[in-house]
Structure 1
């Protein structure tokens, strides 16, 4: 099931999260690398945030991408996700958030479909790391100015503070994306 993202509602949630943190647009811009003007347009519902921008914003605001998209956060310390989890359309992507228990602030996991009709976006940068695994199709990952062609069953791990963006060519691509929003807290993960 796919849901269109209501830009106005996402903007309202973004503004509420920023207000809750006591941040000005300038302060949030400094934390995320986005411009004040772009943040203002996101908050007013005039623009859609890229997946990278959503991850960066959620990290800076101490929330989850799923909360900005309007999904309920589960209070249980274990949350299971099935194949029919709601998908949200954002900038030529279909995003299904697979994260959400209330106390989780280190990892953000998503199933992402990159649609063929996605318009190229500007490369994004945000605090943390990303790991992605291509489940189907081919993903063109532009990372720090170099283009990498990632075939099915390829995984990559990278520093998300470097400019990056994802595209596809002839067919939609499906991938798993895990973003570690705060690299300094990764040492807390033990198995």
Structure 2
């Protein structure tokens, strides 16, 4: 994956510093990702995909021969990043990305995300704690949420077994395409 990250950054015409700033990372951290000395989390992959105007699949070097409308269950390979496990649930190269995601309990800490676009999620199994701005929502199987991702948001599993989701988000390219804020940030969470 590391060479693919570097190639996509270069094809986007971005310096290491510009890409890192747009993704909310330090240049040193992005350099370690591009050399394979660090593995990116799913939020980092999503941020880099938005900055480069591509998909997580392309970042991972996955290619689809054509833009088939159908993704077969046996073709979905699990990918692990940042403690999460996810499976592509839609074709790559589209304006939105669909994923099936397993979020383990305690995997995201206090990371709050803010980025342009929209997100939709549907809880398949387990219970999800979704923080949107100052409001905390608890969702169970069959519940869904659709929100503007400029609203500071955080996803966490309420159960020790984690939570399984269907997750769809728009892929927008923007200089402020992704911002992950830790617990010391002044954004409400």
TM-score (norm 1): 0.78
Offset, 1:119: 5.2
Which segment drifts farther, 113-122 or 151-160? 113-122
Which of the pair is proportionally richer in helix? 1
Aligned length: 172
Change beyond 3 A, Cα 1:18–1:133:
same
Task: Deviation per CA, 1:10-39: give whole Å up to 9, x if none.
Answer: 222111100111101222134333333332
Offset, 1:95: 0.7
Matched, 1:20 2:11: yes
**Distance of 2:164 and 2:148 partners within structure 1:** 21
Matched, 1:37 2:28: yes
**Distance of 2:133 and 2:44 partners within structure 1:** 16
Greater RCO, CA 8 A, separation 6+: 2
1:79 is aligned, of 63, 69, 78, to 69
Matched, 1:149 2:149: no
1:180 is aligned, of 153, 163, 170, to 170
Matched, 1:127 2:84: no
SS of 2:112's equivalent in the other structure is coil
Q: Structure 2: which 5+ residue stretches go unaligned?
A: 175-189
Offset, 1:117: 6.1
CA RMSD of aligned residues (A): 2.3
Matched, 1:109 2:98: yes
The answer on whether the counterparts of 1:53 and 1:126 sit within 8 Å (CA) in structure 2 is: no
TM-score (norm 2): 0.79
Q: Structure 1: which 5+ residue stretches go unaligned?
A: 1-9, 185-191
